[in-house]
Amino acid sequence: MRVLVAVEAVDFRRGIDGLSQVCRTALGEDPFTGAVIVFRNRSRTAVKVLVYDGQGFWLCHKRLSAGKFRWWPSSTDAGAAALQAHELQVLLCGGDPSATQAAPLWRKVGA
């Protein structure tokens, strides 16, 4: 599963069609690939997650009742940063995915 986090904030009045357009233009990604794409609002109090499951789009919205999302990726050439699935879970809980101490996803096994 590919997880992409949009670096720049988006207008949260946008729905599925508007965020799909942002995927194509600003991120250079096809929203129909099944990638999980995460957006944030300007005040860093809410995120939206857009994903296509083969039949239609899912659009999830989470707004924190208190506080802000402290961590967000800095500027990249692609407009989005890649995360692992467990890092997305940390991000959605308001944490810092770069501070996780998870085991690597793949490591070479010696012969």
Q: Give the model confidence (pLDDT) of 30-82 as tens digits.
A: 999 999 999 999 999 999 999 999 999 999 999 999 999 988 888 766 688 88
Computed over every residue of the chain, the mean pLDDT equals: 90
Neighbours of 31 (CB within 10 A): 20
Alpha carbon of 70 to those of 17, 30, 102: distances in Å? 28, 28, 20
Coil, strand, or helix at residue 33?
helix
Dihedral pair phi/psi, residue 91, rounded to 5°: -60, -45
Indicate the pTM of the whole model.
0.85
pLDDT at 99 over 90: no
